[in-house]
Protein backbone atom coordinates (compact mmCIF):
# COMPACT_ATOMS: atom_id res chain seq x y z
CA UNK A 1 0.00 0.00 0.00
CA UNK A 2 1.31 3.45 -0.89
CA UNK A 3 2.41 5.80 1.85
CA UNK A 4 0.43 8.94 2.63
CA UNK A 5 3.18 11.01 0.99
CA UNK A 6 3.10 9.02 -2.24
CA UNK A 7 -0.70 9.01 -2.32
CA UNK A 8 -0.69 12.79 -1.85
CA UNK A 9 1.86 13.17 -4.65
CA UNK A 10 -0.32 11.10 -6.98
CA UNK A 11 -3.36 13.23 -6.11
CA UNK A 12 -1.36 16.35 -6.91
CA UNK A 13 -0.31 14.92 -10.29
CA UNK A 14 -3.96 14.10 -11.05
CA UNK A 15 -5.06 17.59 -9.98
CA UNK A 16 -2.46 19.26 -12.20
CA UNK A 17 -2.41 16.98 -15.25
CA UNK A 18 -5.73 15.13 -15.10
CA UNK A 19 -8.01 16.07 -17.99
CA UNK A 20 -5.18 17.29 -20.20
CA UNK A 21 -5.16 16.22 -23.84
CA UNK A 22 -2.68 16.02 -26.69
CA UNK A 23 -3.14 16.24 -30.45
CA UNK A 24 -4.31 12.92 -31.88
CA UNK A 25 -1.41 12.92 -34.30
CA UNK A 26 1.71 10.79 -34.27
CA UNK A 27 3.64 8.01 -35.92
CA UNK A 28 1.15 5.79 -37.74
CA UNK A 29 3.77 3.10 -38.24
CA UNK A 30 3.93 2.57 -34.47
CA UNK A 31 0.35 3.41 -33.44
CA UNK A 32 -3.10 3.12 -34.91
CA UNK A 33 -5.36 6.09 -35.45
CA UNK A 34 -7.63 4.67 -32.76
CA UNK A 35 -4.79 4.60 -30.23
CA UNK A 36 -3.69 8.13 -31.06
CA UNK A 37 -7.27 9.39 -30.89
CA UNK A 38 -7.36 8.48 -27.18
CA UNK A 39 -4.79 11.19 -26.50
CA UNK A 40 -7.37 13.82 -27.41
CA UNK A 41 -10.02 12.42 -25.05
CA UNK A 42 -9.67 13.74 -21.47
CA UNK A 43 -9.10 10.93 -18.95
CA UNK A 44 -9.79 8.16 -21.45
CA UNK A 45 -7.97 5.10 -20.02
CA UNK A 46 -4.97 4.19 -22.15
CA UNK A 47 -4.02 0.95 -20.40
CA UNK A 48 -0.64 -0.13 -19.07
CA UNK A 49 0.71 -1.47 -22.38
CA UNK A 50 -0.04 1.65 -24.43
CA UNK A 51 1.23 3.92 -21.66
CA UNK A 52 4.47 1.92 -21.51
CA UNK A 53 4.95 2.22 -25.27
CA UNK A 54 4.11 5.92 -25.42
CA UNK A 55 6.28 6.93 -22.46
CA UNK A 56 9.40 5.59 -24.18
CA UNK A 57 8.89 7.31 -27.52
CA UNK A 58 11.14 10.11 -28.72
CA UNK A 59 10.13 13.61 -29.71
CA UNK A 60 9.93 12.74 -33.41
CA UNK A 61 6.93 10.43 -32.92
CA UNK A 62 4.39 13.13 -32.05
CA UNK A 63 3.28 16.53 -33.19
CA UNK A 64 3.51 17.82 -29.60
CA UNK A 65 5.69 15.50 -27.52
CA UNK A 66 5.48 17.45 -24.21
CA UNK A 67 1.67 17.48 -24.50
CA UNK A 68 1.66 13.70 -24.91
CA UNK A 69 3.77 13.30 -21.80
CA UNK A 70 1.52 15.58 -19.77
CA UNK A 71 -1.46 13.55 -20.98
CA UNK A 72 0.23 10.33 -19.83
CA UNK A 73 1.55 11.36 -16.43
CA UNK A 74 -1.41 10.61 -14.14
CA UNK A 75 -1.84 7.11 -15.53
CA UNK A 76 1.89 6.49 -15.88
CA UNK A 77 2.80 7.57 -12.35
CA UNK A 78 -0.11 5.56 -10.92
CA UNK A 79 1.26 2.53 -12.80
CA UNK A 80 4.73 3.13 -11.31
CA UNK A 81 3.41 3.55 -7.78
CA UNK A 82 1.36 0.36 -8.06
CA UNK A 83 4.41 -1.65 -9.17
CA UNK A 84 2.88 -2.54 -12.55
CA UNK A 85 5.34 -0.83 -14.89
CA UNK A 86 7.15 -3.48 -16.91
CA UNK A 87 9.42 -1.16 -18.88
CA UNK A 88 12.04 -0.50 -16.22
CA UNK A 89 15.39 0.37 -17.75
CA UNK A 90 15.18 -1.27 -21.16
CA UNK A 91 15.29 2.05 -23.04
CA UNK A 92 15.22 5.78 -22.24
CA UNK A 93 11.94 7.51 -21.49
CA UNK A 94 10.43 10.53 -23.14
CA UNK A 95 10.29 12.30 -19.79
CA UNK A 96 14.07 12.12 -19.54
CA UNK A 97 14.36 13.69 -23.00
CA UNK A 98 11.99 16.56 -22.25
CA UNK A 99 12.83 19.74 -20.34
CA UNK A 100 9.99 19.21 -17.88
CA UNK A 101 11.58 21.55 -15.34
CA UNK A 102 10.85 24.35 -17.80
CA UNK A 103 7.12 23.57 -17.75
CA UNK A 104 4.88 25.90 -15.72
CA UNK A 105 5.98 25.83 -12.08
CA UNK A 106 2.90 23.97 -10.84
CA UNK A 107 3.49 21.19 -13.38
CA UNK A 108 7.22 20.89 -12.70
CA UNK A 109 6.58 20.83 -8.94
CA UNK A 110 4.03 18.02 -9.33
CA UNK A 111 6.51 15.89 -11.29
CA UNK A 112 9.29 16.63 -8.81
CA UNK A 113 7.01 15.86 -5.89
CA UNK A 114 6.02 12.46 -7.24
CA UNK A 115 9.59 11.44 -8.06
CA UNK A 116 10.76 12.48 -4.59
CA UNK A 117 7.95 10.60 -2.82
CA UNK A 118 8.41 7.49 -4.97
CA UNK A 119 12.17 7.42 -4.33
CA UNK A 120 11.73 7.92 -0.58
CA UNK A 121 9.13 5.16 -0.40
CA UNK A 122 11.37 2.81 -2.40
CA UNK A 123 14.32 3.38 -0.07
CA UNK A 124 12.19 2.90 3.04
CA UNK A 125 10.59 -0.32 1.79
CA UNK A 126 12.44 -3.49 2.90
CA UNK A 127 11.47 -5.21 -0.37
CA UNK A 128 10.34 -2.69 -3.01
CA UNK A 129 8.45 -4.23 -5.91
CA UNK A 130 10.74 -2.89 -8.62
CA UNK A 131 13.96 -3.02 -6.59
CA UNK A 132 16.10 -0.03 -5.66
CA UNK A 133 18.47 -0.37 -8.62
CA UNK A 134 15.64 -0.29 -11.15
CA UNK A 135 13.95 2.69 -9.49
CA UNK A 136 17.31 4.46 -9.26
CA UNK A 137 17.93 3.94 -12.98
CA UNK A 138 14.50 5.23 -13.96
CA UNK A 139 14.73 8.25 -11.63
CA UNK A 140 18.18 9.13 -12.99
CA UNK A 141 16.69 8.98 -16.48
CA UNK A 142 13.77 11.21 -15.46
CA UNK A 143 15.93 13.73 -13.62
CA UNK A 144 19.08 13.57 -15.78
CA UNK A 145 20.85 14.50 -12.54
CA UNK A 146 21.78 12.81 -9.26
CA UNK A 147 21.38 15.47 -6.61
CA UNK A 148 17.65 14.87 -5.91
CA UNK A 149 18.32 11.17 -5.27
CA UNK A 150 21.58 11.46 -3.35
CA UNK A 151 20.20 14.23 -1.15
CA UNK A 152 17.47 11.90 0.12
CA UNK A 153 19.88 9.04 0.75
CA UNK A 154 22.29 11.29 2.66
CA UNK A 155 19.58 12.72 4.92
CA UNK A 156 17.92 9.53 6.20
CA UNK A 157 18.84 8.27 9.67
CA UNK A 158 21.36 5.45 9.81
CA UNK A 159 20.52 1.86 10.46
CA UNK A 160 17.30 1.54 8.46
CA UNK A 161 16.29 -0.07 5.18
CA UNK A 162 17.95 2.80 3.36
CA UNK A 163 21.39 1.69 4.59
CA UNK A 164 20.76 -1.90 3.57
CA UNK A 165 19.71 -0.77 0.11
CA UNK A 166 22.78 1.44 -0.11
CA UNK A 167 25.01 -1.52 0.74
CA UNK A 168 23.32 -3.65 -1.92
CA UNK A 169 23.65 -0.79 -4.40
CA UNK A 170 27.37 -0.42 -3.77
CA UNK A 171 27.90 -4.18 -3.79
CA UNK A 172 26.19 -4.38 -7.18
CA UNK A 173 28.04 -1.52 -8.88
CA UNK A 174 31.37 -1.10 -7.10
CA UNK A 175 33.47 -2.94 -9.66
CA UNK A 176 32.04 -0.85 -12.51
CA UNK A 177 32.53 2.34 -10.51
CA UNK A 178 36.14 1.45 -9.75
CA UNK A 179 36.69 1.00 -13.50
CA UNK A 180 35.09 4.40 -14.21
CA UNK A 181 32.32 2.63 -16.10
CA UNK A 182 29.03 4.43 -15.54
CA UNK A 183 27.18 2.90 -18.47
CA UNK A 184 25.13 0.58 -16.28
CA UNK A 185 24.65 2.40 -12.98
CA UNK A 186 23.78 5.67 -14.74
CA UNK A 187 21.71 4.07 -17.47
CA UNK A 188 20.46 6.58 -20.03
CA UNK A 189 21.79 9.72 -18.38
CA UNK A 190 23.83 11.77 -20.83
CA UNK A 191 25.83 14.09 -18.56
CA UNK A 192 29.39 12.74 -18.24
CA UNK A 193 29.91 14.67 -15.01
CA UNK A 194 27.45 12.41 -13.19
CA UNK A 195 29.93 9.53 -12.85
CA UNK A 196 32.57 11.46 -10.86
CA UNK A 197 29.74 13.04 -8.86
CA UNK A 198 28.44 9.60 -7.86
CA UNK A 199 31.93 8.28 -7.10
CA UNK A 200 32.74 11.26 -4.89
CA UNK A 201 29.41 11.00 -3.08
CA UNK A 202 29.84 7.30 -2.33
CA UNK A 203 33.38 7.82 -1.11
CA UNK A 204 32.23 10.63 1.17
CA UNK A 205 28.84 9.37 2.38
CA UNK A 206 28.60 5.61 1.97
CA UNK A 207 31.76 4.29 3.61
CA UNK A 208 30.60 4.70 7.22
CA UNK A 209 27.19 3.23 6.42
CA UNK A 210 28.82 0.10 5.02
CA UNK A 211 30.73 -0.72 8.20
CA UNK A 212 28.53 -3.66 9.17
CA UNK A 213 28.33 -5.24 5.73
CA UNK A 214 29.12 -9.01 5.54
CA UNK A 215 31.86 -8.23 3.03
CA UNK A 216 34.52 -6.41 5.10
CA UNK A 217 36.19 -5.14 1.92
CA UNK A 218 33.13 -3.34 0.56
CA UNK A 219 33.57 -0.16 2.59
CA UNK A 220 37.28 -0.09 1.80
CA UNK A 221 36.57 -0.49 -1.91
CA UNK A 222 34.08 2.38 -1.76
CA UNK A 223 36.72 4.55 -0.11
CA UNK A 224 39.00 3.98 -3.12
CA UNK A 225 36.57 5.94 -5.28
CA UNK A 226 38.05 9.11 -3.79
CA UNK A 227 41.36 8.36 -5.52
CA UNK A 228 42.44 9.20 -9.04
CA UNK A 229 42.16 6.30 -11.46
CA UNK A 230 45.87 5.35 -11.47
CA UNK A 231 46.22 5.59 -7.68
CA UNK A 232 42.97 3.70 -7.22
CA UNK A 233 44.17 0.58 -9.00
CA UNK A 234 47.44 0.46 -7.13
CA UNK A 235 45.53 0.71 -3.86
CA UNK A 236 42.96 -1.83 -5.09
CA UNK A 237 45.69 -4.35 -5.89
CA UNK A 238 47.20 -3.86 -2.45
CA UNK A 239 43.78 -4.23 -0.81
CA UNK A 240 43.05 -7.51 -2.58
CA UNK A 241 46.53 -8.82 -1.85
CA UNK A 242 46.22 -7.99 1.86
CA UNK A 243 42.92 -9.80 2.02
CA UNK A 244 44.60 -13.00 0.89
Can you give the pLDDT at residue 139? 95
What residues of the chain score a pLDDT lower than 50?
Answer: none
Can you give the pLDDT at residue 92? 86
Phi-psi region of 187 (alpha: psi -120 to 50; beta: other; left: phi over 0): left
pTM of the model: 0.94
Per-residue model confidence as pLDDT tens digits over 157-202? 998 999 999 999 999 999 999 999 999 899 888 899 999 999 999 9
Q: How far apart are CA 149 and CA 201, in angstroms?
A: 11
Amino acid sequence: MNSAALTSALHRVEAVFGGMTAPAEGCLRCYTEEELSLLAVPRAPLGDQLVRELIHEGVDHFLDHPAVLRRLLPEFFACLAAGRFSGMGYMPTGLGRTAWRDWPSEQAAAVEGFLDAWWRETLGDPAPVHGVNAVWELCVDFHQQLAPLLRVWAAVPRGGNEDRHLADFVDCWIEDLLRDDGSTVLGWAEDESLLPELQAWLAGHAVDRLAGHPDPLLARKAALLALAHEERWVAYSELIASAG
